[in-house]
Amino acid sequence: MQVERHLAAHDSNKNGARIGSGRNGTIRLLSTKPDLSDELFQAIQEEWVRISHDTIPGLIESMPCRIRAVIKAKGYATKY
């Protein structure tokens, strides 16, 4: 149901990409688009529990850079 794929810098969120976490902190796209809000919530929950505990500190540390990038891009896609 899900296809793992490393995303290039500007691939994230283009064409409505649905993003989840893969093994070893990689990023993957969901192969199907959830129809209903309940399905979307379930898909998000499933991906959330797959995030490695070793990955979380790095994500937290990167938040200031991510926020600056979003502000600079005026809400559009960033390298993250």
Residues 6+ apart with CB under 8 A from 55: 21, 25
pLDDT at 20: 55
Give the C-alpha separation, 17 to 6, whole Å.
13
pTM over 0.75: no
CA distance 60 to 75: 20
Task: Using alpha carbons only, give the angle 67, 16, 63 rounded to the nearest 5 degrees.
Answer: 15
pLDDT over threshold 80, residue 31? no
Domain range list for the chain: 2-72
Q: What is the mean pLDDT of residues 55-78?
A: 93
pLDDT at 3 over 60: no
